[in-house]
Amino acid sequence: MSAVLNKTYYTQEEYLAIERQARIKSEYVDGEMFAMTGASREHNLININIAREISNQLKNRLCEAYMRVKAKKARSYHYPDIAVACGTPQFEDNHVDTLINPSLIIEVLSLSTEAYDRGAKFSHYRKIESLREYLLVAQDQPMVERYVRQGDAWLLTETAGLDASVRLESIDCVLRLNEIYDKVAFESDPSC
């Protein structure tokens, strides 16, 4: 999350009207709009790699990836790096641009958003009843944190190393870390 656009408070309807016309994406939390920050090369590579891998595995299945999601109970709109809904996607309105029933949300961590992605943003996402899995993907090392809903609790598992893989039960896919981090050079990598 970035800086508040201004201290004016917006209704959800006002936010959507502004956002649907805007050139720059903003998230919305409890009446405030926050401009999205730019992403690093590594962030973009990881995001595209994950999207490619998931897309290939979801081909010919009733699952789709989306951008903006709404956490109704948290009164917030977010742009996760990847959100996937399986079955019949549900949208907030006839614009069909705000998903309200994601099964899986993935965020690629960055220095400027990591605390927010782990804290307040995850708190908002947990209020989405359909959400079954939440992935946090590191940029600086091959590591994925996977949170799985188990009743009212969330179980964390960590997967590390380029030889490892993560099974996404909510969408019946597998992500291999060597594919997630294809073309990503880590600072400690001697080939850099």
Q: What is the pLDDT of residues 155-166, one digit of tens each?
A: 999 999 999 999
Distance from the Cα of residue 94 to its chain's centroid: 23
Mean pLDDT of 61-78: 92
CA distance 115 to 121: 9
Extract the tokens encoding 52.
Answer: 């490619």
- Going by C-beta distance under 8 Å and a sequence separation of 6 or more, which residues neighbour residue 45? 182, 183, 184
- Going by C-beta distance under 8 Å and a sequence separation of 6 or more, which residues neighbour residue 122? 134, 147
Extract the tokens encoding 123.
Answer: 């708190």
Whose tokens are 């549900």? That residue is: 90
In the chain, the percentage of residues whose pLDDT exceeds 70 is 94
pLDDT above 60: residue 178: yes
pLDDT above 60: residue 76: yes
- Going by C-beta distance under 8 Å and a sequence separation of 6 or more, which residues neighbour residue 3? 34, 35
CA distance 86 to 34: 29
Beta strand 76-78 with 165-168: parallel, antiparallel or unpaired?
unpaired
CA distance 179 to 50: 8
**What confidence category does residue 187 fall into, taking pLDDT thresholds of 50, 70 and 90?**
confident
Q: Which domains, and CATH codes, for the chain?
A: 40-68+79-180 (3.90.1570.10)
Convert the pLDDT of each residue in 89-104 to its tens digit. 999 999 999 999 999 9
Residue 7's pLDDT is what?
62
Question: What is the chain's mean pLDDT, rounded?
Answer: 92
